[in-house]
Amino acid sequence: MTPTLPPFDHQPAPYTGPSKADVRGMRSAHLASAILTYYRDPVMIVEGKMQYLYDETGRRYLDGFAGIVTVSVGHCHPKVIERVHEQNSLLQHTTTIYLHPNIARFAEMIADAMPAGSGLDTCYFTNSGSEANDLACMMAKLHTGANDIIALRNAYHGMSPTAMGLTALHTWKFPVLQGVGVHHALNPDRFRGPYGYDDPDAGAKYAADVRDLIRSSTPGKVAAFIAESIQGVGGAVELPPGYLKDVYAAVHDAGGVCIADEVQTGFGRTGEHFWGFENHGVTPDIVTMAKGIGNGAPIGCVITRKEIAEPLAQRLHFNTFGGNPVSMAQGIATLEVMREMDVQKRSKEIGGFLKAGLESLKNKHDLVGDVRGMGLMLGVELVKDRSTKEPASAETSDVMEHCKDMGLLIGKGGLYGNVLRIKPPMCLTKDDCTFMCGVLDEALARAAKG
């Protein structure tokens, strides 16, 4: 029996815009074909309310992907909307050449959200995660006087030329000059890599590769190391315990700074801590964030220590929309709501419940090779055969199609496109999780039948 969505008290507005066919026509006529859509018959989403989305017919879907890990506290959260309306009617834009309270207040709030004693107190706002990573790399280079950067294979850090150079998934790389000075270390992937979940020294063994890479491929001095604590686009790959501690020591020994890309893992999503890096007992020198920071507003941010940000002031540096008062109002309201909702606690509790449900699907469906992640940043890797781990890429697409047909939208990732990515708005409820697991159960069974 097809699972039914939990009841929800919201009536979507009647849709009066162009038809889905017309929108598809306009898109193919005037949008670059690189701008892709999910699903054989793409869904058109015209309204959102908390963890739910509505298509043009008023059909409701559970959003298991949150606008790609971005809608942190729920679609059109009333408090966020109210603040943005207020700001929109007062002032929309001036740039940072004039004082405005919003950018100053939001910087203070982000700094306050950093671990006590970290020294991370100096922000620079951008409009996206890619821009934040670009800027972090430049700050690292200017501060250290070095040029080499270590990133991880299977990483995704964005699509700008610098961020694409950091990214190490061939599907996201174009044949253009990129990644000058970037070296990609062995990915500490305990499912597919040489050191598995059963190896208690996996963290140290993978970290040894970074020391070796510094010795063999750099002048011995590096500018930075950058990593996510759970790879998002790469398919919810969790770094092994001890790995970051060893790597951070190696990078500091080589004169570099450590950058934590918290674009997906930040703001309570991993449940145990507010920031993903805290799960590893390390303190980065630079943290980059975006996506969930603004519940859908185009905000990116770099936070670092004063002395690392300082060299940027030696010449002129500017960002027209970074720190825009409307974006900042949305960021401030989002962070306040995160605190009110205690998203970190929710992610831990609801995410734990969901992960247990996903793990029980592993016992039932041979397609499920691995269930991983923390909090509400979860992944389910599908394989054709558990012993060979041959990726079940086509089946992953099929599962997504079946989920969509049953009212659940989720994402996929990983080098082979065989990891289901589940990263819903953090207002998700246990009833939603039960629905999600029921749908996945049915979708996996249908996909296995072919």
Ligand X SMILES: Cc1ncc(COP(=O)(O)O)c(C=O)c1O
Residue in this structure with the two tokens 């394989």, named with its chain if needed: 383
Closest CA to 181 of 160, 166, 159, 161: 166
Give me the least distance between CB of 298 and ligand X, in Å please. 8
**CB-based contacts of 12: which residues, under 8 Å, 6+ apart?**
46, 47, 49, 54, 58, 60
Give me the least distance between CB of 162 and ligand X, in Å please. 11
Give me the least distance between CB of 236 and ligand X, in Å please. 12
Contact 412, 396 (CB under 8 A): yes
Q: How far apart are CA 132 and CA 304, in angstroms?
A: 12
Q: How far apart are CA 418 and CA 423, in angstroms?
A: 16
Please identify the residue of the shown chain whose CB is closest to the bound ligand X: 129
- Chain-centroid distance of CA 69 in Å reads 5
Contact 45, 55 (CB under 8 A): yes
For ligand X, give the closer residue by CB, 222 or 263.
Answer: 263
Q: Does 290 bind ligand X (CB under 6 A)?
A: yes
Binding mask 354-393 for ligand X (x = CB under 6 A): ----------------------------------------
For ligand X, give the closer residue by CB, 228 or 432.
Answer: 228
Stretch that binds ligand X, among 15-23, 212-220, 259-267, 441-449 (CB under 6 A): 259-267
**Which parts of 82-141 interact with ligand X (CB under 6 A)?**
128-130, 133
Closest CA to 380 of 422, 436, 349: 422
Give me the least distance between CB of 9 and ligand X, in Å please. 32
Residue 197, phi-psi category: left (phi > 0), alpha (psi -120 to 50), beta (remainder): alpha
Name the token pair of 55.
């298509």
For ligand X, give the closer residue by CB, 3 or 411.
Answer: 411
For ligand X, give the closer residue by CB, 205 or 291.
Answer: 291
In 3-state terms the chain splits into helix, strand, coil percentages (rounded to 5) of 40, 15, 40
Binding mask 138-157 for ligand X (x = CB under 6 A): ------------------xx
For ligand X, give the closer residue by CB, 102 or 288.
Answer: 288
For ligand X, give the closer residue by CB, 122 or 133.
Answer: 133
Binding mask 189-228 for ligand X (x = CB under 6 A): ---------------------------------------x
Burial of residue 89 (number of CB atoms within 10 Å: 0-12, 13-18, 19+): exposed
Closest CA to 151 of 143, 142, 136: 136
For ligand X, give the closer residue by CB, 64 or 158.
Answer: 158
Q: Does 261 bind ligand X (CB under 6 A)?
A: yes
Question: What letter would DSSP give residue 351?
Answer: H
Q: Which residues bind ligand X (CB under 6 A)?
A: 128-130, 133, 156-158, 228, 232-233, 261, 263-264, 290
